[in-house]
Structure 1
Amino acid sequence: MVTIKPMERRNPQDVNAVNKYYAKAISQGVIDFERLAYLVSNQCTVRESDCYAVLRALEHNIIDELKQGKVVQLGGLGNLQVGVRSNGEELAENVSAASVKKAHMNFRPGAKLRDMLEIMKYKITTG
């Protein structure tokens, strides 16, 4: 279950408008590679250290493949791909690496994650 709390926000398009409250998802903590390796190792016959090694190798290879411009498919989780923001140029031939202002990560969730979002349950917190 995801915890939400009300957050007051102003309308950036109309600074004179009355502020409104919006739901904000609140983190319930962080899970790191070590904990993931422990959890996976308890669900199969692989040792925790082996799971950790596989997760680290996965991390290394994802980064390497993204650097090569590939889309990384993570099964039911979804796809990762590098995207860029750039300056607009008058002519196509003026577009170059120097036009790029910033790179970012695009994540497109797979069917399992999209389905999870559809059936998500929430609880409210006041703190």
Structure 2
Amino acid sequence: MINLKTVGKKNPQDVTAPQQFYAQAVKTGLTDLNRLAYLISNQSTVREPDCLAVLSALVHNMTDELSQGRVVQLGSLGNFQVGVSSEPSATPEEVNISNVKQIRLNYRPGKRVRKALETMDFKLIGG
């Protein structure tokens, strides 16, 4: 179950506008590579250190592939790709690396993850 809380936000483009209220997901903890390795090892015949080694290699190789401009496809988990936000220029010739203002990782969930997102349960808790 995903807990939601109510949060109020002002419009940064119109600070005189009344505050609006939104539902926001509340994190309930953190799962790291060690925890994932433990969980996977309990669901298979592979030992925990071996799972951790594979997950660590996955992170290393994903980083390397992403740094080469490749889309990393992880089956039903989804696709990962580097994206950028940049400042505009008046002409194509004026665009250069200094136009880049933010680098991000784009994630597009696979079918299985999308389906799981559609069927998750939510509960509104105190804000």
Structure 2-normalised TM-score? Answer: 0.90
Which of 15-24 and 2-11 deviates more?
A: 15-24
What residue in structure 2 maps to residue 73 of structure 1? 73
In the superposition, relative to structure 1, how do residues 116 and 100 fare at CA in structure 2: closer, same or farther (>3 Å)?
A: same
Q: Unpaired runs of 5+ in structure 2?
A: none
Query: What is the 5 A alignment of 1:20-39?
Result: 20-39=20-39
Mean Cα displacement is larger for which, 24-33 or 114-123? 114-123
CA distance in structure 2 between the partners assigned to 1:125 and 1:105 by the alignment: 30
- Counterpart of 2:16 in 1: which secondary structure? coil
Task: Could you list the structure 1 runs, at least 4 aligned residues long, displaced by more than 6 angstroms after superposition.
Answer: none
Task: Quote the offset at 1:123 in angstroms.
Answer: 1.2
Query: What does 1:1-127 correspond to in 2, within 5 Å?
Result: 1-126=1-126
- Aligned-residue offset at 1:114: 1.3
Residue 101 of structure 1: how far off its partner (Å): 2.2
One-letter amino acid of the counterpart of residue 20, structure 1: Q
What percent of counterpart residues are identical? 52
Question: How far off its partner does 1:97 sit?
Answer: 2.4
AA of the residue aligned to 1:82: V
- Distance in 2 (CA, whole Å) between partners of 1:11 and 1:21 is 11
Aligned residues: 127
| CA offset digits 1:83-127 (Å, max 9, x no partner) | 112222222233232332221111111111211121121112216
Question: What is the CA–CA distance in structure 2 between the aligned matches of 1:89 and 1:41, rounded to whole Å?
Answer: 52
Distance in 2 (CA, whole Å) between partners of 1:82 and 1:35 is: 26
Partner Cα distance (1:2, 1:39) in 2: 20
Unaligned runs of at least 5 residues, structure 1: none
**Secondary structure at the counterpart of residue 104 of structure 1:** strand
Alignment RMSD (CA, Å): 1.5
Structure 1: which amino acid aligns with 2:56?
R
